[in-house]
């Protein structure tokens, strides 16, 4: 005779599975976000060559991300509180992924700066949103482990980012690299939506 789970046991297992999926999706999105952050540091060399950019122009492209990131981060927590974690986080991944794809399609330094600003805007709300997602789904005494897992995505993203972006640029070009990373971001966001 097989053991039959009670409704309470089945519900508890479903909740544990849901929590693991949330942590896994947040981790993946953190990795993808930090891949995007790393990408410009490597791609700026062939970009400068292709567009014949001055130091000021390349600085503007890199700074556009950080300016947009810092300004948007100020309202990130408010957006999460007002609109909810799921909608804000999936929108954030979508925005930064579209911005990353746009980086590969632009034809000017200004277009690249605007695209990088879009990436910064999307990524800015993700830290606050992912922190709230953990507090909504885990008891206070069990929050440290999932928070450390998702935040390790930053280190993994930086470590893997240099290898992935360099390989994509070497085998293809910087445009394909940005488009590929953007498509991976969109796929991650889509998987997060489908997982709930």
CATH number at residue 175: 1.20.1250.20
The whole-chain average pLDDT of the chain stands at 87
Task: Report the C-alpha gap between 12 and 169 in whole angstroms.
Answer: 46
User: What does the pLDDT average to over 22-39?
Assistant: 89
Residue 50 included in any domain: yes
Residue 142 included in any domain: no
Instruction: Classify the C-alpha dihedral 27-189-187-154 as positive or negative.
Output: negative
pLDDT of 183 over the 60 cut: yes
Which candidate, 160, 89, 81, 83, places its Cα nearest to that of 122? 89
pLDDT of 176 over the 90 cut: yes
Residue 193 is predicted with a pLDDT of: 57
User: What does the pLDDT average to over 8-15?
Assistant: 56
Residue 180 included in any domain: yes
177 compared with 2, residue with greater pLDDT: 177
Task: Report the C-alpha gap between 27 and 35 in whole angstroms.
Answer: 12
188 compared with 98, residue with greater pLDDT: 98
The pTM of this model reads 0.87
Between 12-16, 135-139, 160-164, the lowest mean confidence (pLDDT) is in: 12-16
Q: Into how many domains does the chain fold?
A: 1
User: What does the pLDDT average to over 111-131?
Assistant: 93
What residues contact 130, with CB distance under 8 A and at least 6 apart? 26, 29, 30, 85, 89, 150
pLDDT of 135 over the 50 cut: yes
User: What does the pLDDT average to over 162-175?
Assistant: 95
Task: Report the C-alpha gap between 165 and 45 in whole angstroms.
Answer: 12
Token readout for 132 is 């709230």
Percent of the chain with pLDDT over 70: 89
Q: What is the per-residue pLDDT across 91-102, written as a single tens digit (0 to 9) for each?
A: 999 999 999 999
Residue 181 included in any domain: yes
Between 56-65, 81-90, 162-171, the lowest mean confidence (pLDDT) is in: 81-90
pLDDT of 190 over the 80 cut: no
Give the domain extent around 175.
Answer: 34-135+153-194
Residue 24 included in any domain: no
Task: Report the C-alpha gap between 38 and 159 in whole angstroms.
Answer: 9
């Amino acid at each position: 005779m097989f053991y039959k789970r009670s409704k309470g046991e089945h519900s508890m297992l479903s909740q544990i599975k849901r929590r693991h999926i949330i942590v896994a999706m947040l981790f993946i999105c953190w990795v993808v976000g930090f891949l995007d952050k790393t990408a410009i540091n490597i791609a700026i060399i062939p970009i400068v060559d292709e567009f014949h950019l001055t130091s000021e122009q390349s600085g503007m492209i890199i700074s556009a991300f950080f300016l947009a990131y810092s300004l948007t981060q100020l309202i990130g927590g408010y957006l999460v509180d007002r609109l909810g974690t799921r909608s804000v986080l999936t929108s954030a991944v979508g925005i930064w992924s579209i911005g990353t794809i746009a980086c590969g399609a632009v034809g000017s330094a200004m277009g690249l700066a605007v695209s990088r600003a879009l990436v910064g805007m999307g990524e800015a709300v993700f830290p606050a949103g992912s922190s709230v997602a953990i507090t909504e789904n885990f008891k206070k005494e069990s929050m440290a482990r999932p928070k450390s897992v998702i935040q390790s995505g930053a280190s993994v993203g930086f470590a893997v980012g240099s290898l992935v972006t360099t390989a994509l640029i070497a085998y293809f070009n910087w445009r394909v690299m940005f488009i590929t990373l953007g498509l991976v971001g969109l796929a991650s966001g889509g998987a997060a939506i489908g997982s709930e």
